[in-house]
Chain A
């Protein structure tokens, strides 16, 4: 029933992940439109399932778990065997997890649109689905760990370390953060918030960041022909990020009713996150040295370089907004929404676009169907996203200033002041979504009509790089 063809699980995860991306981002655009026209679905029977309160969690869950996590599973199944010099431990199990992932995401979408919401950020789905999510992650990770255990390469490259770190820590973060998967929600009140943000921020730090950064360390040598500049520095970055990220979650609760020391620890550790970011960026610039010309011709490299810019900005913003004085202005505003998108769209989705453009031809044996569409995908995504996050960031500062200046006396004026920013955000979002439809069309045509992938010129590159 499930294919055992080498590479099939990775390929299938990539295919279905891009479909969830389209669905998830469509919900996101619809939510952005609802912010401009709040009464759009009012009084229309079928559309009552598409109110902002339902569409918004459907958007976040489908892009986080349907798109990004699906693409990450594919990346794990693609890169880990190649780093280990062996095949994936079980393609059959891998393909089973593809099916489970898709069933689960369908259940996520249906339950969230029906209004079944646990009320915790990024953990809104009903507890039965959370248990199945742990099963899914567990099976994928078991496959990865067994592949690592059967490897032929004795020593592990930094990408494998980042991915192994993610595989080990993510289940712990998920189980703890989701109230130990108990249906009765034993942790309540302020403690619930602390645990929720332990999960909410660490799922970024221990799942989305390590796989994304690990993929960059894999892609950069493949796209430039240079080995990474310093493996030692990359390993220092790995150990520091895994040590430092844990206590940062409480910076979401700064100035709130949680222990002061916990806030301070979260702020201090958030500032320390600059260290691993520095290691990644130093390595990025060192590895690119002498190969910047490749940027003109390689769309995956364009996506990677843009992702590095957004990664820096995300990690510049993050420690800054964790400070009490800055948080007092930016918290609960559109600034934070912009920051989250900088990480998840500008950085990690861009890295996944680069990964798909690199890996898919090797998995299906076909060249990317249209280079021109790849370029369109890149430029529309980049311009649309820049408009999107700049409007959210400026809008967030205006919103924070309005609230601080007017306190609660004139709240509705602050809502009206957001209108131009909401329109700009929706336009940027439409450009991003349009770019993704071009991307999906290109992927579809690659799978069905792409010319045969030849590794001849690529092997020449390998020889040059080896020299």
Chain B
């Protein structure tokens, strides 16, 4: 399920960025054209993968009880129905009330709402400063790698009999 989820996330998010026109300029046209398809394939992988994982899942097989599997499916669907209904309802009401702006116009108002920005907002950029962006980027990458390696070392260092 993790594999299906990972593939679905990558496809879905790339598709979303493409469909919304948020890709870098040279890829933007491809994004508009293929983004929605990537998004659809991502969703398909997620749903299909979910069904495959639950059909072939070890829990159901080990328990050997079909009713357990049916119960789980019903409860899973019930959970999804509750959440989709609730947030779908909220979304519908927000749209209907006219307060929901998914576009870009509203974001400019905050710069002129009478709350003065910091002086750094008017500071002219100097050459080379853009490279500072790599500091948080590197920090995220190093820490993510550090955690992943740490977890893998911990999992593979324990005796096979005790391994989960």
Q: How far is the CA of A282 from the CA of B22 in the complex (A)?
A: 10
- Contact indicator B87/A242 (Cβ below 8 Å): yes
CB-CB < 8 A to A400: which residues of B? 154
Residues of A contacting B: mostly: helix
CB-CB < 8 A to A267: which residues of B? 1
Nearest to B147 among chain A residues (CB) is: A317
Which stretch (A124-132, A323-331, A417-425) binds chain B?
A: A323-331
- Contact indicator A232/B143 (Cβ below 8 Å): no
Q: Can you list 11 A-B pairs with a CB-CB distance of less than 8 A?
A: A231-B106, A243-B83, A243-B87, A291-B121, A296-B132, A309-B136, A329-B164, A393-B150, A405-B158, A457-B122, A461-B118
Most buried by B among A82, A261, A462: A261
- Contact indicator B108/A268 (Cβ below 8 Å): no
- Contact indicator B75/A261 (Cβ below 8 Å): yes
CB-CB < 8 A to B71: which residues of A? 261
CB-CB < 8 A to B120: which residues of A? 223-225, 294, 297-298, 301, 461
A232 CB contact (under 8 Å) in B104, B111, B119: B104
- Contact indicator B144/A300 (Cβ below 8 Å): no
CB-CB < 8 A to A272: which residues of B? 5, 9
- Contact indicator B5/A227 (Cβ below 8 Å): no
Residues of B contacting A: mostly: helix
Rounded to whole Å, the gap between the CB of A6 and the closest CB of chain B is 12
Rounded to whole Å, the gap between the CB of A385 and the closest CB of chain B is 12
- How many A residues, CB 8 Å from partner? 95
Q: How far is the CA of A271 from the CA of B99 in the complex (A)?
A: 30
CB-CB < 8 A to A232: which residues of B? 20, 102-104
Say whether B96 faces chain A, with CB atoms less than 8 Å apart.
no
CB-CB < 8 A to B129: which residues of A? 292-293, 296
Rounded to whole Å, the gap between the CB of B88 and the closest CB of chain A is 9
Say whether A63 faces chain B, with CB atoms less than 8 Å apart.
no
- Contact indicator B122/A155 (Cβ below 8 Å): no
- Contact indicator B87/A404 (Cβ below 8 Å): no
Say whether A145 faces chain B, with CB atoms less than 8 Å apart.
no
CB-CB < 8 A to B157: which residues of A? 401, 405
The bracket for how many chain B residues form the interface is 35 or more
- Interface positions of B (Cβ within 8 A of A): 1-2, 5-6, 9, 12-13, 16-17, 20, 22, 50, 54, 57, 59, 71-73, 75-76, 79, 83-84, 87, 91, 98-123, 125-126, 129-133, 136, 139-140, 143-144, 147-148, 150-151, 153-155, 157-159, 162-164
- Contact indicator B9/A274 (Cβ below 8 Å): yes
Say whether A222 faces chain B, with CB atoms less than 8 Å apart.
yes
Q: How far is the CA of A324 from the CA of B58 in the complex (A)?
A: 13
Provided the pairs A85-B113, A232-B103 are in contact, do residues A464 and B50 lie with their beta carbons within 8 angstroms? no
A155 CB contact (under 8 Å) in B2, B12, B76, B101: B101
CB-CB < 8 A to B107: which residues of A? 157-158, 221, 227-228, 231
Nearest to B5 among chain A residues (CB) is: A271
Which stretch (A12-20, A200-208, A233-241) binds chain B?
A: A233-241
Say whether A260 faces chain B, with CB atoms less than 8 Å apart.
yes
Say whether A93 faces chain B, with CB atoms less than 8 Å apart.
no
Beyond known contacts A222-B117, A235-B102, A463-B122: 11 more, CB 8 A cutoff? A82-B114, A222-B118, A225-B120, A232-B102, A236-B20, A243-B84, A260-B72, A325-B164, A458-B116, A458-B119, A465-B117
Provided the pairs A271-B2, A282-B22 are in contact, do residues A397 and B104 lie with their beta carbons within 8 angstroms? no
Q: How far is the CA of A394 from the CA of B151 in the complex (A)?
A: 9
Rounded to whole Å, the gap between the CB of A157 and the closest CB of chain B is 5
- Contact indicator B151/A295 (Cβ below 8 Å): no
Which 10 A-B pairs give the minimum distances between C-beta atoms? A225-B121, A461-B122, A461-B121, A458-B116, A261-B72, A328-B164, A293-B129, A294-B120, A292-B132, A455-B116
- Contact indicator B108/A466 (Cβ below 8 Å): yes
- Contact indicator B103/A221 (Cβ below 8 Å): no
Nearest to A222 among chain B residues (CB) is: B117
- Contact indicator B151/A231 (Cβ below 8 Å): no
Say whether A379 faces chain B, with CB atoms less than 8 Å apart.
no
Q: How far is the CA of A223 from the CA of B110 in the complex (A)?
A: 12
Say whether A1 faces chain B, with CB atoms less than 8 Å apart.
no
Rounded to whole Å, the gap between the CB of B127 and the closest CB of chain A is 10
Rounded to whole Å, the gap between the CB of B84 and the closest CB of chain A is 8
- Contact indicator A462/B1 (Cβ below 8 Å): no
Say whether A92 faces chain B, with CB atoms less than 8 Å apart.
no
Say whether A439 faces chain B, with CB atoms less than 8 Å apart.
no
Most buried by A among B73, B125, B143: B143
Q: How far is the CA of A231 from the CA of B163 in the complex (A)?
A: 46
- Contact indicator B155/A325 (Cβ below 8 Å): yes
- Contact indicator A465/B111 (Cβ below 8 Å): yes
